[in-house]
Amino acid sequence: LELRQAISDHLSKREGIFYNPENQLLITVGVSEGMDLAMRAILNPGDEVIVPEPCFVSYKPCVLFAGGKPVVVPTCEANGFVARPEEIRAAITDKTKAILLGYPANPTGAVAPRELLEEIVRIACEFDLYIISDEIYGRLTYEGKHTCIPTLPGAYERTILLDGFSKAYAMTGWRIGYAAGSPEIIETMMKIHQYTMMCASTMSQVAAIEAIRNSDRECEEMVEQYNHRRRVIVKGLNDIGLPCLMPKGAFYAFPSIKHLGLSSDEFCERLLFEEKVAVVPGSAFGECGEGYIRCSYATSLDKINQALERMQRFVAKL
């Protein structure tokens, strides 16, 4: 309860929304467990979930494991890899149960403008759909302010907010996250959680309390460092000849390799074996990610610069 209270206070302070720590918050083993629980809590067999792509690799499997059907809405570089409300509306059927959103986005670093999210919420209200909002990268927003979806008009009652400590607090291995939502949804998620996980690690929960109460300054310093690395890696990729949009959040760059005559898998495998640089093929995040690669800048500037030098050498040989 102490961690749930700390999270409730944090959300009230940062976002101006209140979740009762007694019955509206659930501590999970990372956001990944929260995503799984959310899907199993709301989906009946055959229910559809709208999933914009490219997206994090576990989104569609979580829908499938819960007996649902992921309905992909492709995004594109021209739109900043942000789902358009009209495309989401066009994907809705009488079986649609929820819209899954993850902004800032992994793998693209995309951030959806507030006005666009407001329109998506209006669509969810019109069709009485749940919104599952993965906001694990929310504090890693570099341009403007992060929009927390349940703060938008009409969103609070229908949104399952997922967040955690892996990114903003650099606590990836501690595996600690949380879900926030209506008492009915949280109770249903708790039933599954208590029989599968029992609870998140007590040690991790104690560490999370310290992080959320006393680490704001360190978080801000880390975001500043990421912001600098973001600019370095994007400039470096563009200078190499790998066109890359400036990501507005998270800690990934998503450059295009379409012009090089290699698939994403081929590019990544050859780069790994020939220059010992590891990047992830965009196709791992959905079909519309083909022709792109994901580069993480959650590492030191020295390593980023060394990787850029090796990538330049590799591209020059193609």
Burial letters 10-45, b for 16+ CB under 10 A, else e: ebeeebebebebeebbbbbbbbbbbbbbbbbbbbee
Tokens of 211: 């992080």
Give the strand pairing for 252-253 and 280-281: unpaired
At 243, is the pLDDT very low, low, confident or very high (cuts 50, 70, 90)?
very high
Q: Give the torsion through C-alpha atoms of 205, 42, 40, 148, to 10 deg.
A: -40
Tokens of 56: 């994090």
Domain locations in the chain as residue ranges:
2-214, 217-317
At 159, is the pLDDT very low, low, confident or very high (cuts 50, 70, 90)?
very high
Give the CB-side neighbour count of residue 45, counting CA atoms within 13 A: 0
At 307, is the pLDDT very low, low, confident or very high (cuts 50, 70, 90)?
very high
Give the strand pairing for 130-134 and 96-101: parallel
For the entire predicted model, the pTM comes to 0.95
CATH class (in words) of the domain with range 217-317: alpha beta
Residue 196 neighbours by CB under 8 Å, 6+ apart? none
At 150, is the pLDDT very low, low, confident or very high (cuts 50, 70, 90)?
very high
- Does residue 73 sit in helix, strand or coil? strand
290-307 mean pLDDT: 98
Q: Given this model, what pLDDT does residue 217 score?
A: 94
CATH class (in words) of the domain with range 2-214: alpha beta
Percent with pLDDT over 90 in the chain: 99
